C-alpha cells in the first residue's frame, strides 16, 4: 500500500445527457478519517461512490484510491478497498456463511480464513448457518459489512448503511462503524442522516445537486458557526435591559423567557457580574452551539438560491 491518500478526486464530473449528476467534485480523504459524504437524496453521492469504485466511467476529472486510478489500473486499484453501493446483495437461498464462502473463494488472498472473524465482528456468528432470505434488513446490512471485511480493507466505502433500519439497528450499525474506525480502517460514509454523520465523522463534504458546498473538518465547521449564549433569568425583561447596556453583548433577543445573545467570554463574565449586582438570578447560562442540521440547511438552501 502506498503512502498516498485513501481517496482523492479532482474535478470529478458525471453527465447523463443534459443532467449533471456530479459537478466537478474535489475530495480528499485522509488516513484514519471517518469521512461523511452528506447530502439529500439525489444529490450525487451514490454516483460519486460508483465512480470511486470504477463501476461507472467519469465524464471528466479523475479518481485515485491510494494513488491508483480504478479505470487505468483496473482491479489492482481496489487492493485494500471494500464496501457496498445501494445496499449489499446475497443469494437468499444460501446461508450467511455460504454466501461469505463464495465471496472469499472469488477474492482469494486468505479471505476464507477470516470468515469466522468477520462474523464475530458483525455479531452474526450464531445466525451464520441460517438462510439469508430469513435475515432482517439490519442483519443483511451487517452481512454486507462482513463481506467487505473479508478483504481486510484499509478503506471502507459505505453507502447509506443505516437506511431502512429501526432505531436499534441504527444504533448497532453506528457502534459497528465506531469499532471499525477504532481498528484503523479509513471509512467513507455516504448518508443523508445528519445525526449519524455528526456522531461518527471527523471530516465531511456537504453536497447539493452534485456540487460540494463544504468540505473539511466537522468540528471546525461547527465551531465556526457557534450560536452564542442562552440565558434564563428570574426577571427576563430586567435582564434584557441590563444586557443591552453591557459592552461586548450583541444580537440580543428575548424569546419567551429565554434571552439569546452573542458575546466573547470576557463580556459574558462581566454580564453575569452586572446581573448579580442588579439582583437578578441566573437560572441557566449555556453556550448555544450550531447543530449540523442548522448548518446543512443553511449551506444547501444558500446553494439552491444561488443556482436559482
pLDDT value of position 224: 62
Where along the chain do the CATH 3.30.70 domains lie? 227-287
Bridge-based pairing state of the strands 34-38 and 203-208? parallel
**CA 306 → CA 155, 208, 221, 302, 303, distances in Å?**
35, 12, 21, 6, 5
Task: CATH 3.40.50.300 in the chain: give the residue spans.
Answer: 7-223
The residue written with cell numbers 462503524 in the block is 177
DSSP 160: S
Mean pLDDT by 10 residues, the chain (308 residues): 83 94 93 90 89 92 93 87 88 95 87 93 93 93 92 91 85 90 93 83 89 84 70 93 92 88 87 93 82 66 47
Pairing status of strand 282-287 against strand 229-233: antiparallel
Compute the distance between CA of residue 154 and CA of residue 80 in angstroms, rounded to an integer. 5
Please give the CATH topology (third level) of the domain spanning 7-223: Rossmann fold (3.40.50)
Domain 227-287: state its class: alpha beta
Q: SS3 for 272? A: helix
Grid cell in block for residue 126: 450464531
Q: What is the DSSP letter of 86?
A: S
pTM for the model stands at 0.75
Amino acid at each position: 500500500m502506498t503512502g498516498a491518500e485513501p481517496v482523492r478526486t479532482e474535478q470529478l464530473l458525471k453527465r447523463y445527457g443534459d443532467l449533471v449528476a456530479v459537478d466537478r467534485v474535489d475530495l480528499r480523504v485522509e488516513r484514519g478519517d471517518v469521512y461523511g459524504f452528506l447530502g439529500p437524496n439525489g444529490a450525487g453521492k451514490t454516483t460519486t461512490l460508483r465512480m470511486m469504485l470504477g463501476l461507472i466511467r467519469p465524464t471528466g476529472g479523475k479518481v485515485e484510491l491510494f494513488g491508483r486510478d480504478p479505470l487505468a489500473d483496473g482491479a489492482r486499484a481496489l487492493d485494500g478497498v471494500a464496501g457496498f453501493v445501494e445496499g449489499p446483495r446475497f443469494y437468499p437461498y444460501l446461508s450467511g456463511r455460504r454466501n461469505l464462502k463464495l465471496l472469499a473463494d472469488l477474492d482469494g488472498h486468505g479471505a476464507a480464513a477470516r470468515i469466522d472473524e468477520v462474523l464475530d465482528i458483525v455479531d452474526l456468528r450464531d445466525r451464520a448457518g441460517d438462510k439469508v432470505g430469513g435475515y432482517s434488513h439490519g442483519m443483511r446490512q451487517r452481512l454486507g459489512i462482513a463481506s467487505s471485511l473479508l478483504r481486510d480493507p484499509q478503506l471502507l466505502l459505505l453507502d447509506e448503511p443505516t437506511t431502512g433500519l429501526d432505531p436499534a439497528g441504527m444504533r448497532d450499525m453506528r457502534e459497528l462503524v465506531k469499532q471499525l474506525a477504532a481498528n484503523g480502517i479509513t471509512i467513507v460514509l455516504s448518508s443523508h442522516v445528519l445525526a449519524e454523520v455528526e456522531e461518527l465523522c471527523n471530516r465531511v463534504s456537504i453536497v447539493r445537486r452534485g456540487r460540494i458546498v463544504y468540505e473539511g473538518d466537522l468540528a471546525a465547521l461547527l465551531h465556526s458557526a457557534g450560536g452564542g449564549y442562552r440565558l434564563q433569568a428570574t426577571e427576563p425583561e430586567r435582564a434584557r435591559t441590563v444586557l443591552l447596556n453591557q459592552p461586548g453583548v450583541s444580537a440580543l433577543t428575548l424569546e419567551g423567557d429565554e434571552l439569546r445573545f452573542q458575546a466573547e467570554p470576557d463580556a459574558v463574565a462581566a454580564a453575569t457580574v452586572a446581573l448579580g449586582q442588579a439582583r437578578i438570578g441566573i437560572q441557566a447560562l449555556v453556550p448555544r452551539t450550531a447543530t449540523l442540521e442548522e448548518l446543512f440547511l443553511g449551506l444547501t438552501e444558500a446553494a439552491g438560491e444561488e443556482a436559482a
